Every structure is written in C-alpha cells, then in structure tokens.
Structure 1
Amino acid sequence: MVTQTLRHWAATHPGTRRATNEDAYLCRPEIGLFAVADGVGGHGSGAFASAQAMKALEQIPQTASPGDVLVAVRTRLGSVHDALCAAAAEAGREDPPATTAVVLLLGGGHLACVWVGDSRAYLLRRGELFRLTTDHSVVGELVKAGRLTDAQAERRSDGHIITRALGVNTGGALLDKVTAPVEPGDRLLLCSDGLPRSVSSQVIGATMAADEPAAALVAAALAAGVRDNVTALVARV
C-alpha cells in the first residue's frame, strides 16, 4: 500500500506451536499511525485485549493533527488499560486479559514511538539497525540496570515475563515514549516478541531491506521454528 510519503507492509502468523493468533496490528498511513499488539491471557482473552487496543486507535479521527494523534494514542490506550483492569477485578480472574502495544507515529520529518510491554520497534537507516524500544520485562529491567548484556538477555529462559502491559495494574508508569528525526529511505519495524526471540538482530536488519519485508521477516521466524505468535509491520519513509 502506498501513500504520498509512506509505504508499508504487514504480516502475522500463529507460529509453529499455537492454533490461535493473539497478535493484532493496525496501519493508518493517512495519519502516520502504525501499531502492533501482543495479547496475553488464557482462553483467548489475549486476543480480545489486543483487539481492543487496536480498535481504540482505529477510532482516532482522520482529521486529527500530529500532536492531537499523540495525545489521543496515550489517552485511548490508557482507557483500554483502565477498562481491562476494571473487568478483571470485577470478574476476579487470575489470568486477566492483557496486551502489550507498540505504536509508531510518523510525520513532519520525525517519529514518535509509544510502547508498553515487550513488543519492539526498530529503525533501519543506511543498512544499520537501531532498536528504539526497551523491553518492559524482568530481563529487560536487568539489561537496563546493567546487570545483563543484550546477548545474555536473549539466552534467558524467563525473557517472556513482562512487567508492564495494558490490563496489568502495577501502580507505576504505563507507557514509555521515544522521539527521533527520520530521513528519506528509513525503514521502521514494529513487531511482537516472537520475532526477536526466534531470529537475530542481524537477520532482522538484513531482511528489513527485502522487497516484501514483513512477509520475509515472518517467514524467517517460521523457518527458525518460532513457537509464539509472530507479527511484523514495516513502514518506509
């Protein structure tokens, strides 16, 4: 799909071990908004939570200015979080519906990325891959504190344990944000954690340059035997 300034690709798959796909994604190039969510929770509740997050972002008015879109992303994801937490408390569930989310906003020569959980965003610029997000996970916190390297973190068996998500009330900060300038030719990747847990950053960077990068990234994850759901969304400036 092509707009005046952006081209994008998206692909998703349940993975090699799961019958259902609880990931969700959204492409709204008309307002420069792209998002990926990875649902967690038993009995399909993860799929419900990720769908609720994407539905909330889908309803942002097309006429909204870039600044208003960013405010709306924060507000709407916060409302989804509150609604999921309230529903879980009322039902007394031990496995409440919850979801990670990573949202990319492109416009005016800049990007803003907002996220919660361990779904990630990457930037590929002139052949070099940069990671824009940090994981809200047990392992991610150890990396942030300097107690683990990225290489050591990738080998940890507890890397899937997240510390923040929409629908999980930790009482602390919910969303993180990063901003940066963009250049013509930049490619931005949003992905669920199934991708980086199955293929290396070197493979991700090389595959992002493909003609159909999202499908190629998902195919690489499947070839590596990815067990989790896997979603890749690539936008090119």
Structure 2
Amino acid sequence: MSIRKRLREYIALKGISLRELERQCQISNGVLGRLNESTTPKTLTRLQENSDLNIDWLMTGEGEMLNQTIGDAKENFEGCREDKESERLIPFYDVETTGGYNGVVSDSSEGALVGYIQPGGWFDGRETAAIRHVGDSMTEYPNGCILAVKKVYDRHLLVFGKNYVIETLEYRITKRVQKGSTNNTITLYSTNTEKYEDGRLVHEPFEVELDDIINIYSILGYIVNQSGEMKLIRTR
C-alpha cells in the first residue's frame, strides 16, 4: 500500500477530508494530496504534532495506524515546548562524508533519502540533513557517527576555523576550513595531527578551488546512537 493510500485510510477512519486534516495540522492546501517519500520533514512534523497519526506507519506501513501513546498530540504540543523539540524530524540521506582524504567517497551525487531521524531535543532546528561520517582525521567526530548539517548557500561567507562538509565532483569530505593562497581557494585541515616517523603529517592540509565545490554544509553537531535515544523512521 502506498503512502497516499495509507493517508486516505486514515482520513476515512476519522471521517474528515484531506483539506480538513491540512487545516487541523496547519499545512498548506494541496500538500497532503502530493504526499510521498520526498515530503519535507516540516510537513511530517506538523502531522505528528497535530494528529494521532503514526508517522512510522504512514511512511512504512509498519506498526499501528494511530499513535495511541501520545494522547491528544495537539494539546501536548501546546503545553510542552520540550515535547515539540523531541519530535522534530531530520532527513537522513544514504551518503557518507569521510574525515580522510585518501579514502574519499567516490559517489558524490545526492544520496537517496533513507528516512527521518528523531534527535530528541538536540540542535536548534536549523539542520537541513543528516549524513554519516567515516574516518579518523577529524578527532572530534567518532567514526560512524551521524552529522547534523545545514547547507551553506553563500560560500564566500565561510567562517575560517570552523568545520564543514565539502562536496566536489570527486569527493565529500569533512574538514576545518582556513584561508587559501588566493581569494578563490580555501585550505582544508584535519584536526588529527598524527605524523609519520619522518615528521610529515599523515593527514596533510590541501587547497580546493571554490569553483570546484558543489555543496558546502556547516556542521551543527553529531549523533552517536549508543543509548537508543535516536529514532530512525525509514521511508523504504
């Protein structure tokens, strides 16, 4: 059964129309009629906050249709800001960023949307995506952790000394950004200062031309799912 069919099953049970559900959830007219796996997390969050619809069931068909455990979601949302933050959804893409330069990811095209992460009350709502980090050249990010990132649209406003995910045609990489030798270049540094026996850095800094960069993402934080608090709602 498709996502739209499951949604129609829900509104039939409730005895309301799609438009009535949109008004209840403060969603623009016509948005729910186009619901699919690429639907924005904002729409899913509003559905989750303002109805008893189980978003996991809606997106995957797994579990129960109704969120019996949350009671009146609208009332809970208005009464508790923390609950709202705990149910925010971050889109999680099936791509990796690497901390090393030698083992860069060859496929730099946008990965498929795997699902949505519920990060609890972490971050501040500015994140636009979550991707996995691998490698050991950035000591502050554990190998295998998930980075919460925000897309940077003006690459000339980069903050030097801050960490970013840099994506080109050849690689997607996590590095600390500093000034380059020209106005059209930046230098990418690793925070792992491990050296070879001859004194050379294992992870040497290197320059990249701004014109070669496809996407830049500011890193807001990372998630390590050790305690089971992070929930992934899969779309497939």
**Which category describes the TM-score, using the shorter chain as reference length?**
under 0.3
Bigger radius of gyration, 1 or 2?
A: 2
Structure 1 or 2: larger helix share? 1
The alignment's TM-score, normalised by the length of structure 2, stands at 0.23
The alignment's TM-score, normalised by the length of structure 1, stands at 0.23
Structure with the larger RCO, 1 or 2 (CA within 8 Å, 6+ apart): 1
